[in-house]
């Protein structure tokens, strides 16, 4: 998967198209990510005890990793990335510029 936790990404399709946010969690097995402020879902919670709190909780739901691109601070938009090897380590690099993300 080309996205990791903590990456700044831009959503390229769907209801939140154009939204820029940080990846809070990544699920490589299902190829999904949770982006801060995107795909907000409301969960209704019952009170667990007598007099406990109940209400509506907002949670960020997962979206498919193919719908996000790494965000380039240089270009101020999402960019496609490739992998190059430096000193035997994989490094993610922008296809348009030589900006490195690792």
- Position 88 scores a pLDDT of 93
CATH 2.30.290.10 assigned to 7-72: no
Q: Which two tokens stand for residue 83?
A: 């992998």
Dihedral over alpha carbons 1, 15, 25, 7 (to 10 degrees) = 70
* Cβ atoms of 67 and 14 closer than 8 Å: yes
User: Tokens at residue 81, please?
Assistant: 């990335």
Please give the Cα distance from 53 to 58 (Å, whole number): 15
Distance CA 86, CA 73 (A): 22
Alpha carbons 85 and 53: distance in angstroms, whole number: 52
What would the 3-class secondary structure string for 7-61 be? CEEEECCCCCCCCEEEEEEEECCCCEEEECCCCEEEEEECCCCCCCCCEEEEEEC
List the chain domain ranges. Answer: 7-72
Mean pLDDT by 10 residues, the chain (102 residues): 94 95 97 96 89 89 96 93 94 92 84
> Quick one: pLDDT at residue 26?
97
pLDDT in tens, 21-34: 999 999 999 999 99
pTM of this structure: 0.84
């Amino acid at each position: 998967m080309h996205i990791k936790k903590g990456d700044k990404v831009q959503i390229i399709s769907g209801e939140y198209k154009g939204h820029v946010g940080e990846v809070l969690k990544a699920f490589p097995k299902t190829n999904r990510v949770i982006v801060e402020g995107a795909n907000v879902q409301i969960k209704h919670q019952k009170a667990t005890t007598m007099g406990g709190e109940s209400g509506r909780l907002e949670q960020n739901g997962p979206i498919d990793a193919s719908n996000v691109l790494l965000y380039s601070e240089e270009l101020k938009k999402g960019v496609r990335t490739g992998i190059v090897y430096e000193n035997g380590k994989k490094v993610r690099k922008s296809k348009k510029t030589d900006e490195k993300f690792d």
